[in-house]
């Protein structure tokens, strides 16, 4: 920040232009609201000013509240003294001129204005639900009056960003400027045009009515995805107040509902997740001189499920990408799968037909390596076997132009072995996408021992460009995400030996907040993939704890949804997992062969057996310097495994239980179950010192 005011008033003839200047995105930080009010009052008192324009300097209009230190105790102007109230009382019209984002308090300020115009690229929204609160500046009262109750419910409960052209159609904006128009000049002209219009159009004066069934229908529609969360329901209640109470009473009700949320555990966890994602982008040991390269054309080697999903990830964000495979038949099959995936999105209504055609046209099937040799970056996405990947990198090294970056979409394999197949290991890194690659947001960048800082910085930037959340991992078996998850995957099968059934474990995890249970997820991904990893690890470690129940299913050809049977059975054309008596018998028979005494488990026992095992492994990863921060592990679990966001992440959740309690339970299980539950050194040290997981100091990254 500089010494210049965060809000200033300039005169453009008879129009007062109020400009917010709070870099980088004009959040409603300290002094901004007070500055807007001061400028409004000055302009109102100036007889030479006939109307006002409110706009932002730099990248945005007003991108929302500054949520650092966001809690129930921070200073808030009372109802009646806020920017929106001053605008409501203004005898002169105020025009909001929007570019960039008008989100949260930004849109609330825009709705306090009498008129709203925007450039075509602008976006508006009320995304507060995504951090566990609701719009607390009149957003739940004004938006229903401006755009209708149904639109307001959808926008506020989803938190989505609405592009300016759509916002104009919905009635949120009065005008969208032509492409390339000068925003300030256009806003001043617009303000001059409406300067004498009376009465001034105040949103608070509009009617807001709705059938009560609308609110109940919305509650039912979100019941599954909003499980265990309060914010979406408070959002609905606030909009309901807009439709049933006078404006001022609705504002009071909005405040009551807001204060119920702002300092609750849900909001704290969501704010933590928000900042953890931003922290994950920071690479503290990279030299300041490391800069991301320009990547203007990309290629994918492998047109299977993962390769196709990676190609779609590029196409979905506007980038052309080439894709190749070993045979024309495999390439054709891959392109057909990509098209089918897009067509499914069109049928579901999540993608328009014309947009589908544009995206599909960005994916270019090519015959072989000569067609990709001039690409800036190539991502290998073939089968997860070292003997398959190594020859591909040797060939890429031979054909790719100097300086091209070569990334492997491996989920566990040693990136150094792959890099050593080339004469340029500095240009090699891992870029681990999660399945389905075009949907899952985690982008795990794997740092090889010879990966250059420039390569790593570029890989992190690439993930961001294609809509992913990038996070760095060290080169260890399974990297950070899958390695920390591996004990969970083992423990869930061991629980079957001891008395659980897949549907019981899945129910416990869904009730906790996962979108799917782990056994259903296994069937979706394919049980043969996990079996291949177990075989590899068993060959490397004679003490590896085998999972005979899982292995038995694979021996029987039960690979999951793709074979119609896995942990569950599936009807043709139906992805619903149905409990299978045959699986229950396999479990019972194997347990009897092992001589395991079976018992019953509570949901809490199931939950802690699975998650505590991964917390312990996460501590080992940190003590080995394979992750920068505990919060990076949280980000990976949120975006790689569907950990419920409103619980913050694996390590944040464990902090809520307490490090000492986690350690004591793991130490007890160590005595009961043996070496797989041996507490990590870091866990023991944290418990002894009373330090939280989030404050743990990992070893230097390596």
Q: Are 39 and 83 in contact (CB under 8 A)?
A: no
- Convert 158-168 to b/e letters by CB count within 10 Å (16 or more is b): bbebbbbeebb
Strand, coil or helix: 429: strand
Q: Are 219 and 38 in contact (CB under 8 A)?
A: no
Taking the C-alpha atoms of residue 641 and residue 633, their distance in angstroms, rounded to an integer, is: 11
Residue entry with tokens 């499920």: 305
118-132 mean pLDDT: 97
State pLDDT tens for residues 437-466. 999 999 999 999 999 999 999 999 999 999
| pLDDT given at position 134 | 97
Q: Are 433 and 307 in contact (CB under 8 A)?
A: no
Confidence of residue 72 (pLDDT cuts 50, 70, 90): very low
Taking the C-alpha atoms of residue 253 and residue 248, their distance in angstroms, rounded to an integer, is: 9
Residue 358 tokens, joined: 């544009």
Higher pLDDT, 506 or 538: 506
Strand, coil or helix: 263: coil
Q: Are 280 and 656 in contact (CB under 8 A)?
A: no
Residue entry with tokens 């109102």: 44
Residue 201 tokens, joined: 């159009």
State pLDDT tens for residues 237-289. 999 999 999 999 999 999 999 999 999 999 999 999 999 999 999 999 999 99
Q: Are 350 and 359 in contact (CB under 8 A)?
A: no
183-204 mean pLDDT: 97
Domains belonging to the chain, first-starting first, are 7-263 (3.90.226.10), 298-474 (3.40.50.720), 500-598 (1.10.1040.50)
Whole-Å CA distances, 307 to 248, 310, 438, 455, 562: 55, 5, 10, 21, 18
Q: Are 236 and 220 in contact (CB under 8 A)?
A: no
Residue 547 tokens, joined: 């999972």
Catalytic residue among 10, 38, 81, 128: 128
Largest CA distance in the chain: 92
Q: What is the 3-state secondary structure (H, E, C) of 117-139?
A: EECCCCEEECCHHHHCCCCCCCH
Taking the C-alpha atoms of residue 520 and residue 575, their distance in angstroms, rounded to an integer, is: 10
Q: Are 654 and 611 in contact (CB under 8 A)?
A: yes
End-to-end CA distance of the chain: give it in Å, rounded. Answer: 35
Taking the C-alpha atoms of residue 597 and residue 557, their distance in angstroms, rounded to an integer, is: 28
Taking the C-alpha atoms of residue 551 and residue 564, their distance in angstroms, rounded to an integer, is: 17
Whole-Å CA distances, 632 to 432, 575, 695: 15, 33, 12
Residue 77 has pLDDT above 90, yes or no: no
Taking the C-alpha atoms of residue 92 and residue 303, their distance in angstroms, rounded to an integer, is: 61
Strand pairing category for 51-56 and 94-98: parallel
Question: What would the DSSP string read from start to end of 558-575?
Answer: --BGGGTBSSSB--TT--
Residue 541 has pLDDT above 60, yes or no: yes
Beta-carbon contacts of 684 under 8 Å, excluding residues fewer than 6 positions away, are: 663
- Convert 351-370 to b/e letters by CB count within 10 Å (16 or more is b): beeeebeebbebbbbeeebe
| pLDDT given at position 75 | 63
Catalytic residue among 38, 81, 108, 454: 108
Confidence of residue 506 (pLDDT cuts 50, 70, 90): very high
**Half-sphere exposure of residue 688, counting CA atoms within 13 Å on the CB side?**
7
| pLDDT given at position 289 | 95
Check if 256 is active-site. Answer: no
| pLDDT given at position 74 | 59
Residue 76 has pLDDT above 80, yes or no: no
Residue 574 has pLDDT above 60, yes or no: yes
Residue entry with tokens 């008129």: 115
Nearest by Cα to 83 from 43, 122, 123: 43
Q: Are 40 and 109 in contact (CB under 8 A)?
A: no
| The dihedral formed by the CA atoms of 16, 22, 23 and 25, expressed in degrees to the nearest 10 | -80
Sign, CA dihedral 596-601-607-613, equals: negative
**Half-sphere exposure of residue 240, counting CA atoms within 13 Å on the CB side?**
17
Check if 10 is active-site. Answer: no
Q: Are 464 and 575 in contact (CB under 8 A)?
A: no
Taking the C-alpha atoms of residue 465 and residue 485, their distance in angstroms, rounded to an integer, is: 27
| pLDDT given at position 437 | 95
Confidence of residue 573 (pLDDT cuts 50, 70, 90): confident
Q: Are 239 and 149 in contact (CB under 8 A)?
A: yes
| The dihedral formed by the CA atoms of 82, 84, 85 and 88, expressed in degrees to the nearest 10 | 160
Q: Are 50 and 34 in contact (CB under 8 A)?
A: no
* Ramachandran category for residue 700: left, alpha or beta (phi over 0 → left; psi -120 to 50 → alpha): beta
Percent over 90 (pLDDT), the chain: 91
| pLDDT given at position 535 | 86
Strand runs (DSSP E) across 469-514, as ranges?
Answer: 469-474
Residue 548 has pLDDT above 80, yes or no: yes
Q: CA 525 from chain center: how many Å?
A: 20
Whole-Å CA distances, 180 to 118, 119, 120: 12, 8, 9
pTM above the 0.85 mark? yes
10-39 mean pLDDT: 95
State pLDDT tens for residues 345-382. 999 999 999 999 999 999 999 999 999 999 999 999 99
Residue 65 DSSP class: B
Nearest by Cα to 29 from 81, 65, 5: 65
Strand pairing category for 15-20 and 51-56: parallel
Average pLDDT, the chain: 95
Structural element, H or E, at residue 378? strand 377-380
| pLDDT given at position 542 | 83
């Amino acid at each position: 920040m500089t010494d210049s005011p965060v809000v200033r008033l300039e005169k453009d003839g008879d129009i007062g232009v109020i400009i917010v200047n709070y870099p980088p995105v004009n959040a409603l930080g300290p002094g901004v609201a007070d500055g807007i009010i001061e400028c409004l009052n000055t302009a109102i008192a100036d007889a030479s000013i006939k109307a006002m324009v409110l706009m932002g300097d730099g990248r945005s209009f007003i991108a929302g509240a500054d949520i650092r230190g966001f809690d129930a105790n921070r200073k808030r102007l009372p109802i009646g003294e806020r920017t929106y109230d001053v605008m409501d009382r203004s005898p002169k019209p105020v025009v909001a001129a929007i570019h960039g984002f008008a989100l949260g308090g930004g849109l609330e300020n825009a709705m306090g204005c009498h008129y709203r115009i925007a450039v075509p690229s602008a976006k508006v929204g009320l995304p507060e639900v995504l951090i566990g609160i609701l719009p607390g500046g009149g957003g739940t009262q004004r938006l229903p009056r401006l755009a209708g109750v149904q639109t307001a419910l959808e926008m506020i409960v989803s938190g989505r960003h609405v592009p300016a052209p759509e916002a104009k159609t919905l009635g949120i904006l009065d005008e969208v400027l032509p492409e390339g128009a000068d925003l300030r000049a256009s806003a001043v002209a617009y303000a001059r045009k409406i300067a004498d219009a009376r009465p001034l159009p105040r949103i608070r004066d509009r009617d807001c009515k709705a059938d009560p069934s609308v609110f109940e229908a919305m509650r039912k529609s979100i019941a599954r995805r909003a499980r265990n969360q309060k914010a979406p329901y408070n959002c609905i209640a606030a909009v309901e107040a807009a439709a049933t109470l006078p404006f001022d009473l609705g504002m009071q009700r909005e405040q009551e509902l807001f204060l119920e949320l702002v300092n609750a555990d849900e909001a704290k966890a969501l704010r933590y997740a928000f900042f953890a994602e931003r922290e994950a982008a920071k690479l503290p040991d990279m030299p300041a001189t490391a800069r991301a390269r320009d990547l203007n054309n990309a290629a994918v080697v492998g047109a299977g499920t993962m390769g196709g999903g990676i190609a779609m990830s590029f196409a979905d964000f506007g980038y052309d990408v080439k894709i190749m495979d070993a045979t024309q038949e495999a390439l054709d099959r891959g392109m057909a799968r990509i098209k089918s995936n897009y067509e499914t999105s069109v049928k579901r209504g999540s993608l328009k037909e014309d947009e589908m055609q544009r995206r599909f046209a960005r994916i270019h099937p090519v015959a072989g390596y000569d067609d990709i040799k001039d690409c800036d970056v190539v991502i290998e996405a073939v089968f997860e076997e070292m003997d398959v990947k190594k020859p591909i990198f040797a060939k890429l090294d031979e054909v790719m132009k100097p300086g091209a970056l070569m990334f492997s979409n491996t989920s566990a394999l040693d990136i150094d072995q792959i890099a050593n197949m080339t004469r340029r290991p500095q240009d090699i890194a891992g870029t681990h996408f999660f399945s389905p690659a075009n949907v899952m947001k985690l982008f795990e960048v794997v740092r090889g021992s010879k990966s250059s800082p420039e390569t790593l910085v570029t890989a992190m930037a690439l993930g961001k460009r294609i809509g992913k959340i990038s996070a760095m991992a060290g080169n260890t078996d399974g990297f950070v995400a899958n390695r920390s998850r591996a004990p969970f995957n083992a423990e869930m099968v061991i629980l079957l030996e001891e008395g659980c059934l897949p549907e019981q474990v899945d129910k416990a995890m869904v009730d906790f907040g996962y979108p799917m249970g782990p056994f259903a997820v296994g069937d979706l991904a394919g049980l043969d993939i996990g079996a291949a990893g177990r075989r590899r690890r068993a060959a490397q470690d004679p003490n590896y704890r085998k999972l005979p129940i899982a292995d038995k299913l694979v021996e029987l050809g039960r690979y999951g949804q793709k074979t119609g049977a896995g942990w569950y059975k599936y009807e043709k054309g139906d992805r619903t997992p149905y409990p299978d008596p045959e699986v229950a018998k396999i479990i019972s028979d194997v347990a009897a062969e092992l001589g395991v005494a079976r018992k019953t488990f509570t949901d809490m026992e199931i939950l802690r057996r699975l998650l505590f095992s991964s917390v312990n492994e996460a501590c080992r990863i940190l003590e080995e310097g394979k992750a920068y921060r505990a919060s990076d592990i949280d980000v990976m679990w949120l975006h790689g495994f569907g950990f419920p966001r409103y619980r913050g992440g694996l390590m944040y959740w464990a902090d809520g239980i307490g490090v000492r309690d986690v350690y004591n339970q793991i130490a007890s299980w160590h005595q009961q179950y043996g070496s797989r539950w041996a507490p990590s050194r870091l866990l023991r040290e944290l418990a002894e010192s009373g330090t939280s997981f989030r404050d743990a100091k990992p070893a230097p990254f390596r």
